[in-house]
Amino acid sequence: MQEAQNWRELLAIIINDPREKSRITEALGVTPITIARWVSGESEPRLQNLRQLLAILPQYRSQFLELLKKERDIKEFISSLLQDSEKDIPSEFYVQIFAARASTSESLRFWSTCNLILQQAIGQLDPNRQGLSVWIASCMPLSGPYKKVRSLREMVGAGTTPWPGDLGRLGMFLGAESLAGNVVTLCRPTVLQDLETEQPNTAYVPDEHEISSVAYPILFAGNIAGVLLVSSTQKNYFTVARTSLIQRYADLIALLFEPEAFYAPSQIALHVMPKREEQKRHFAQFRYLIANTLMDAASRNEPKNPVEANLLVWQKLESELLQSVSGLS
């Protein structure tokens, strides 16, 4: 994308995609002509329109804020917006999520909606792009001789530099040794403000960029589906306002999980999982394993969609890794 010199140029670049233009006009309740006038400078959007624009374009939020700061007549608005950004999830965003949930196909619903939420969360939690990663880690299905949840998998992730924007392809297993595992086992949130001096347990190994972290359980009726895990490159980054906001995002994400994805505390029995370097060797052929699973199912007249094949491969890899650690299968 070319670099915009002001917020109007950024909006012009975005609406160059007809689908985005249609989505934005519909969400804002304005006509395409109104949007065109904003871009040309013929008219100014109301401050409420600007708030809504930031809510429906979370991936561009930080860019818009930086460019809007240059507008003298709305500096006070931007200042208040930055102060409010940590307080709550915008009401307009809830509307967007419910609309996406209703209109997206079943096979894509969870992934696409989660990505929308993570982009919005990053825009609020790290507006100055200091370095943040956000993961949704879910409980693996019950397995083993005792039919327990034995690990978590990092399903959807997003970040700002030094982390990649899309972390999903880097997802691996988390076990009892991890911060997320500790939160699932105890069923309560944990905040670590300085990982040089604070650790959930002696086996925990922080990411190379991770200086502080917070994890909130994803709960429904006392049962747990996983964890919302947020890490920062800064010490003491997770203020009361930020942790309260993270909890709200965890509550919103809970609405996206199916009821059967939540497990009672008595069903949780996490094991220690291998370190990431060892896991990488097992994940090296991940795409091949999915393709092979799909072809094998088709040959047996038991067709599966990519989501089902994905889960089957995760289960296969979980079994292999648990066996390599402790001889469990």
Report H helices in 255-305: 276-283, 286-299
Residue scoring higher pLDDT (100 or 328): 100
Please answer whether residues 13 and 2 qualify as being in contact, where contact means their C-beta atoms are separated by less than 8 angstroms: yes
Radius of gyration, CA atoms only, the chain: 21
Can you tell me the distance from the alpha carbon of 256 to that of 133, in angstroms, rounded to the nearest whole number?
20
pLDDT at 216: 97
Q: What is the CATH number of domain 91-267?
A: 3.30.450.40
Band of residue 144 on the pLDDT scale cut at 50, 70, 90: very high
- The string of DSSP letters for 28-63 reads HT--HHHHHHHHHTSS---HHHHHHHHHH-GGGHHH
Q: What is the pLDDT of residues 251-261, one digit of tens each?
A: 999 999 999 99
Q: Over 80: is that where the pLDDT of 21 sits?
A: yes
Closest to 174 measured CA to CA, from 183, 165, 162, 166: 183
Q: What is the pLDDT of residues 131-140, one digit of tens each?
A: 999 999 999 9
Band of residue 192 on the pLDDT scale cut at 50, 70, 90: very high
Q: What share of the chain is helix, strand, coil (3-state, %, to 5)?
A: 50, 15, 35
In sequence order, what E strands does the chain have? 132-139, 152-159, 173-174, 190-192, 212-220, 223-232
Q: What is the pLDDT of residues 86-111, one digit of tens each?
A: 568 888 889 889 888 888 888 788 98
pLDDT at 327: 61
Q: What is the pLDDT of residues 199-242, one digit of tens each?
A: 777 677 788 899 999 999 999 999 999 999 999 999 999 988 89
**For range 260-275, the mean pLDDT:** 96
Least confident among 36-50, 73-87, 178-192, 199-213: 73-87
Residue that has been written with the tokens 């395409």 in this structure: 32
For the chain, which residues make up each domain, given as ranges? 7-84, 91-267, 276-326
The pTM for the full model equals 0.74
Q: Which two tokens stand for residue 245?
A: 């906001």
Q: Over 80: is that where the pLDDT of 128 sits?
A: no
